[in-house]
Amino acid sequence: MTARWLRIVLSIGLLAGIAWHASIPEVLTALKSTAARWPYLVLALIVPGIGVLVCAMRWQVLLRAVAVRIGLPRLFCGFLVGNFFNQFFPSTIGGDIARGWWIHRRQDTVPLGLTVVAADRVVGVAGICLVGLAAAFAQPDLLREKLVIWPIVALLAMIGISLIAIAHPALQAVIRKFIARIQFLEPVESRLRDVLNGMTALRAAPGSLGSALVLSCILQAVVVCQFTILAAALDLGMDFAALAVIVPIVSLLTILPISINGIGVREVGLAAVGAAFGLSIDGAIALAWLFLLIATLYALVGGLIYLLNQ
């Protein structure tokens, strides 16, 4: 509870801080101006659906690696349900638990489902890093901006090392021995072993992990496309190449469990990183709010799906 309140306070603080340096009337005017460019808004509403489909495909690839077969339509709905819990019941892993529960409704293996969801999240972060890194190196002038590039490189390296460590047979052997020796773990021993078996299956299916990583890169490209369309709707003059560097960095910041759904962090991140590309504070706030509005609409669809499946 305390951590949740801290995130709420931080989100409010960041919003108040950036609003102090912005012109809220100008932000509202920019949002209203999108009505004149409504085709962009329609397209921006459709593109996230493509992103959810890619997420469901990635989830399915990882599930099949652990011999769990669930249809793509159900996984599509499950991802929307997870988004609903992330959006309206903010916690660090609320959406992940909801997705694990969604799998459990079809397969009696909650820990295995959560293991796949965790792997899905890690691969997703790796895809974010790869797209941001590729976009930065594709623009030679940005190679001198080490503050933009090297955090992405460092995070990508950390994720790779973590994946190797978690799936390494020697480390799994140590964990299995630890489980066998600790008596108070006996009630959940079978579930913990399910988790390890899931990780073993993922390690034994490098092709699945590779496919999931490719899908993660495609997903991040879709997200960049959405931001590009929203920027066009707001007439911000931001192109795909610039946003391909900005958006991955901001996405990584919003993943950190320090705010409510990235609120505040997204606005500040877009303004701070986007400033080097000519994005104004007012434009950054308008872009963040428009993105949040569409994400909320998709989350509401997930909530409806959840209610209908009770």
Between these two residues, 111 and 153, which has the higher pLDDT value? Answer: 153
State the alpha helices, DSSP H only, in 138-205.
146-167, 169-181, 189-203
Between these two residues, 195 and 300, which has the higher pLDDT value? Answer: 300
Q: Say what the pLDDT of residue 151 is.
A: 66
Instruction: Please determine, for residue 41, whether its predicted confidence score (pLDDT) is greater than 90.
Output: yes
Q: How confident is the model at residue 223 (pLDDT cuts 50, 70, 90)?
A: very high
User: From the CB of residue 151, how many other CB atoms can be counted at a distance below 10 Å?
Assistant: 14
Between these two residues, 133 and 305, which has the higher pLDDT value? Answer: 305
Structure-token match 């409510």, residue found:
260
Structure-token match 């709420």, residue found:
8
In the chain, % of residues over pLDDT 70: 71
Mind listing the pLDDT tens digit for each residue in 240-276? 988 988 898 888 888 877 777 788 889 988 998 888 7
Q: Say what the pLDDT of residue 92 is.
A: 47
Between these two residues, 217 and 201, which has the higher pLDDT value? Answer: 217
Span 171-183, mean pLDDT? Answer: 64
Between these two residues, 44 and 23, which has the higher pLDDT value? Answer: 44
Between these two residues, 184 and 169, which has the higher pLDDT value? Answer: 169
Query: Where are the extended beta strands (E) located within 17-108?
Result: none
Mind listing the pLDDT tens digit for each residue in 144-156? 665 555 665 666 5
| Contact by Cβ (8 Å): 248, 125 | no
Q: Say what the pLDDT of residue 42 is.
A: 94
Element (H, E) at 270: helix 265-274
Q: Say what the pLDDT of residue 21 is.
A: 83
Instruction: Please determine, for residue 291, whether its predicted confidence score (pLDDT) is greater than 80.
Output: yes
The residues, ordered by sequence, that sit 6+ positions from 41 with a Cβ below 8 Å of its Cβ are 34, 233
In the chain, % of residues over pLDDT 90: 24
Instruction: Please determine, for residue 296, whether its predicted confidence score (pLDDT) is greater than 80.
Output: yes
Distance CA 31, CA 17 (A): 20
| Contact by Cβ (8 Å): 156, 126 | yes
Q: How confident is the model at residue 218 (pLDDT cuts 50, 70, 90)?
A: very high
Instruction: Please determine, for residue 183, whether its predicted confidence score (pLDDT) is greater than 60.
Output: no
Q: Say what the pLDDT of residue 134 is.
A: 81
Give me the chain's average pLDDT, please. Answer: 79
Mind listing the pLDDT tens digit for each residue in 9-24? 888 888 888 888 888 8
Q: How confident is the model at residue 159 (pLDDT cuts 50, 70, 90)?
A: low
- Which of 51-60, 133-142, 175-184 has the lowest average pLDDT? 175-184
Instruction: Please determine, for residue 128, whether its predicted confidence score (pLDDT) is greater than 90.
Output: no
Instruction: Please determine, for residue 54, whether its predicted confidence score (pLDDT) is greater than 50.
Output: yes
